[in-house]
Amino acid sequence: EKSLVRLAGGYIPFAGTTAQARAAGDSRSSIEGLYGDFDDYLAKYEAATDALIAEGFLLPGFKAAYMEIAQENESLFP
């Protein structure tokens, strides 16, 4: 079940915008700084998924499921 992966460790979420990151004292890039917008994120995610398939790390039949997971992240973008 994909939801179990989220229980296997901890993480500190990225700030949505650069202003939010600065206000929180977070020196890491924000989601906005890393990807610009959701469409850019989705394109990079799909390219990375395609690369993993080409390298034999993912089976092509799983691509749709991974893209669905990426769609769930749209709410993280400002």
Number of domains the chain is built from: 1
Tell me the pLDDT tens digit for each residue of 44-71. 999 999 999 999 999 999 999 999 999 9
Mean pLDDT of the chain: 91
Domain extent, residue 41, equals: 10-76
Q: Is residue 69 in a domain? A: yes
Asked if pLDDT for residue 41 goes beyond 90, the answer is yes
Task: DSSP for the chain, please give it.
Answer: -HHHHTTSS---PPPSSHHHHHHTT--SPPHHHHHSSHHHHHHHHHHHHHHHHHTTSS-GGGHHHHHHHHHGGGGG--
Q: What is the value of pTM for the model shown? A: 0.75
Token representation of residue 40: 């850019």
CA dist 73 to 14, 39, 57, Å? 12, 11, 22
Q: Is residue 67 in a domain? A: yes
